[in-house]
Amino acid sequence: MTLALRPMTESEYAAYLDFTVPEYAREHMEAGNWHPAEALEKARQSYIQLLPQGIATPDQYLWIVVDETGSRVGIAWLGLFRKATHIEAWVYDLFIDPEQRRKGYGEQTMRLLEDQARQLGAVKIGLHVFSSNLTAHKLYERVGYHDVDVVMAKDLADKSVS
């Protein structure tokens, strides 16, 4: 099945924030980056900072991923960074709806995002993936992404590991 990217509407954006902000907070808590008491507010502030004008924020592209019938299969968010000599793209989010997974839609969506980035003038594309998200990490490797920076940590309260 062929996929396409359709711009997100205001109501879809509001629903997206209702889902993604708590999810982003949860991922940061699981990674040990944020304390539960502060995680939700930090996640809200991250989205406010990145998308101060919502879906109208310049150089930020939020899409609904649709199949050939126009039915939603997920969401995607691509941002551009204008450097002195070139443009780079960043995949902020790729979410395939749970009932649509295991159909190759993640790979297809990544290819669509790469095509969009090229059309917008980007010469490089990057993304972040939490180390606990093995499925996403494997997807990104499968479509040609590689680690460029790895942050490692050790919990000092765990005395069982030397």
**CATH number, residue 134:** 3.40.630.30
161 confidence band (pLDDT: 50, 70, 90): low
Distance, in Å, from the CA atom of 52 to the CA atom of 58, rounded to the nearest integer, reads: 9
In this predicted structure, which of 12-16, 19-23, 28-32, 68-72 has the lowest mean pLDDT? 28-32
Q: Looking at the domain assignment, is residue 155 inside a domain?
A: no
Q: Looking at the domain assignment, is residue 136 inside a domain?
A: yes
Encode pLDDT of 121-136 as tens digits: 999 999 988 878 888 8
Q: Looking at the domain assignment, is residue 157 inside a domain?
A: no
Q: Looking at the domain assignment, is residue 63 inside a domain?
A: yes
Per-residue pLDDT at 162 exceeds 60: no
Q: Looking at the domain assignment, is residue 150 inside a domain?
A: no
Range of the domain at 98: 4-142
- Going along the chain, which residue ranges are E strands? 4-7, 60-66, 72-82, 87-96, 122-127
Q: How many structural domains are present in the chain?
A: 1
Distance, in Å, from the CA atom of 95 to the CA atom of 99, rounded to the nearest integer, reads: 12
Distance, in Å, from the CA atom of 135 to the CA atom of 138, rounded to the nearest integer, reads: 5
Task: Give the chain's mean pLDDT.
Answer: 93
Residue 12, exposed/middle/buried by CB under 10 A (0-12, 13-18, 19+)? middle
Mean pLDDT of 93-98: 96
76 confidence band (pLDDT: 50, 70, 90): very high
Q: Looking at the domain assignment, is residue 99 inside a domain?
A: yes
Mean pLDDT of 76-96: 97
CA dihedral 4, 10, 15, 16 (to 10 degrees): 50
